[in-house]
Structure 1
Amino acid sequence: MAHLTGRWTVHRVLRDLATGQEGTFRGTAVFRPAADATHLLHVEDGGLTWNGVTGRAGRTLLLYGRPDGTADVRFADGRPFHPLDLRTGHWTTRHPCGRDRYDGTFTVVSADEWRLTWRTTGPAKDQLQHSVYRRADRP
């Protein structure tokens, strides 16, 4: 959790493998303690370009740290998303969403960079998202 705390730039490439469409997200991610200090807030904000149109996009996730250095990631409304364990610098996880499946791979490149890939498969989606997070400041 301490490793993630701070401000990061985010560059994400999104691909719809069924249609061949591609888009990008460029913005920031801030990981900061919540007001009640029980978890970290992960707040992303930026611009999403899809089909040549750019609009504002963002999301908020909650990270609840465990004593062993791992975390439970939840959506902003508190629903479970996935476990997270960056202690070895590499983590894979799976999140079922209806009949679709999200397979995630987290890779720590250095103290100032980590990467996240989500591969989504199922009847509603055939997508790939690749994100690069680079530290914008030191906590």
Structure 2
Amino acid sequence: MGEWWPVPDVLAYLAGRWRTERSVRDLASGLEGRFEGTTSFDGLDGGAVDAGRLDAGGLISREQGHFTWQGVTRPAERTLRYEPGSGPGRADVRFADGRPFHGLDLTTGHHVADHPCAADLYRGEFTVRGPDRWRTVWRVGGPAKDLLLTTDYLRETPEA
């Protein structure tokens, strides 16, 4: 399904600021929502990020923007940690408090990850589409949830 763009160093690839657009669809009710904002991947634990190069530690991802659901728009944010994995193309993704979320291996430009959460299962598909564009699709299923979350990330570049 489409072409994938291999990522030799996942942390260096993600470092920086991304425009973030997410559609959220409740498959049971047919309701849809939308998130628009930015995601910044900055050095974790004092590690420096400079021109796509990461020194030590990993990344902290801070997503900020607005989520609109049923005509009501509210501020929304999320923080995740991306720690070095077993190789440069891999990372261990954790919640802000350090709990494990999922592994991430973008060496082929594509990865599928599962995260069980209580009685629900989150299955994420990560697809890198180029040096400045990637997408995640999370399917959430369980007794209380039947959701599809599609997020597109486009790298923001500094004004010249």
Q: TM-score, normalised by structure 2?
A: 0.84
1:120 and 2:140 aligned: yes
Find the aligned partners of 1:48 and 1:23 in 2 and give their Cα distance: 7
The aligned residue for residue 87 of structure 2 is: 68
1:12 and 2:22 aligned: yes
Measured against aligned partners, the alpha-carbon deviations of 1:69-120 in whole angstroms (never above 9, x if no partner) come to 2110000011000000111100001000001000000000000100000000
The aligned residue for residue 44 of structure 2 is: 34
Alignment-mate amino acid for residue 24 of structure 2:
L
Structure 1 runs not aligned, ≥5 long: none
Find the aligned partners of 1:67 and 1:123 in 2 and give their Cα distance: 34
Measured against aligned partners, the alpha-carbon deviations of 1:9-28 in whole angstroms (never above 9, x if no partner) come to 00100001111110000000
Find the aligned partners of 1:66 and 1:20 in 2 and give their Cα distance: 37
Within the candidate set 18, 23, 28, 2:33 is matched to: 23
Find the aligned partners of 2:100 and 2:86 in 1 and give their Cα distance: 19
User: What's the offset of the Cα at 1:39?
Assistant: 2.1
Bigger Cα Rg: 2
Q: TM-score, normalised by structure 1?
A: 0.96
1:56-95 matches, within 5 Å, as 56-66=75-85, 68-69=87-88, 70-95=90-115
Find the aligned partners of 2:43 and 2:32 in 1 and give their Cα distance: 34
Structure 2 runs not aligned, ≥5 long: 1-10, 48-56
Aligned Cα root-mean-square deviation (Å): 1.1
By percentage of residues, which structure has more strand? 1
Work out the percentage of aligned pairs sharing the same amino acid.
Answer: 50
Q: Which runs of 4+ in 1 moved over 3 A?
A: none
Measured against aligned partners, the alpha-carbon deviations of 1:23-59 in whole angstroms (never above 9, x if no partner) come to 0000000001023332200100000000001000010
The aligned residue for residue 3 of structure 2 is: none
The aligned residue for residue 65 of structure 2 is: 46
